[in-house]
Structure 1
């Protein structure tokens, strides 16, 4: 029997996004200047492993090589139920972007101090996507300022919540 109400639950999002992995350190280590959504070329066992929620964006980065965008250092573990046709966990993966987007990323990334960092890996309407950002690395004193402002914001919100 089919469910009434379209099968939507309270937890599912209206835009069909299912996040697999986030790079939480990137938001702390870098100032994010511009975000871009890119497709990613995957093998079948990689997709199955991602659907199980297994991936890590720690120590990963994106680069441009011979006019193509690549994602390096993403750890997608081997799919347990696969046989000898399994994938290599940390292989470079090609990003799918339009030529104009690649050219814009190339000009921005060539500036001093800027890099391309993956922020999250997710499925959007069943298709694997990566959100990448052009970012500038933060200095130690900038990180301390970020921590201080985050803590003061948290204290203010806590005080307002307790007051109500």
Structure 2
């Protein structure tokens, strides 16, 4: 099964707009209590989230997992830091890349795979404003071509 396949629960659409994604990694995520139930209900948001390396481990920050409605008083903090599970060689590769100027680790999407919540993280390099405009122009031109092709098919 290719990376990023499964039931997609949340997607970070802004990541492809703001960054050049150079490489992706599939990571497991350490959850507490009722978090998996909220995630399965699709109550997760990756909009402003980012990953950070601390003491040789990768952590996901600012990923909002809403508290489970049928939970009790021991519900989790929605914005807490969550540990990502990666192989040591993948972590070492990320450490080496993020030491370079301009690279960061961005979560792209969260999905279920074989009953487990997974996060697809990308090694990303920030885009400049003119790169963002160029990407929008290419996307618009592609959309226009598809529209013209669709009209000519009729």
Residue equivalent to 2:118: 129
State TM-score, norm by structure 1. 0.89
TM-aligned CA deviation for residue 16 of structure 1:
7.0
Q: Does 1:114 align with 2:113?
A: no
Deviation at 1:78, TM superposition (A): 0.4
Partner of 2:9: 20
Matches within 5 A, 1:1-164: 17-164=6-153
Name the count of aligned residue pairs: 150
Q: Distance in 1 between matches of 2:5 and 2:29?
A: 17
Q: Which runs of 4+ in 1 moved over 3 A?
A: none
Partners of 1:98 and 1:126 in 2: CA distance: 20
Tell me the TM-score normalised to structure 2 length.
0.95
Q: Structure 2: any 5+ residue segments left out of the alignment?
A: none
Contact 2:50 2:62 in 1 (8 A): yes
Question: How many angstroms apart in 2 are the aligned matches of 1:151 and 1:105?
Answer: 33
Stretches of structure 1 lacking an aligned partner (at least 5 in a row)? 1-14
Confirm or deny: 8 A CA contact 1:16 1:125 kept in the other structure: no
Cα separation, 1, equivalents of 2:42 and 2:61: 19
CA distance in 2, matches of 1:53, 1:62: 20
The DSSP-based 3-state class of the residue aligned with 2:53 is strand
Kept in 1, the 8 Å contact 2:5–2:111? The answer is no
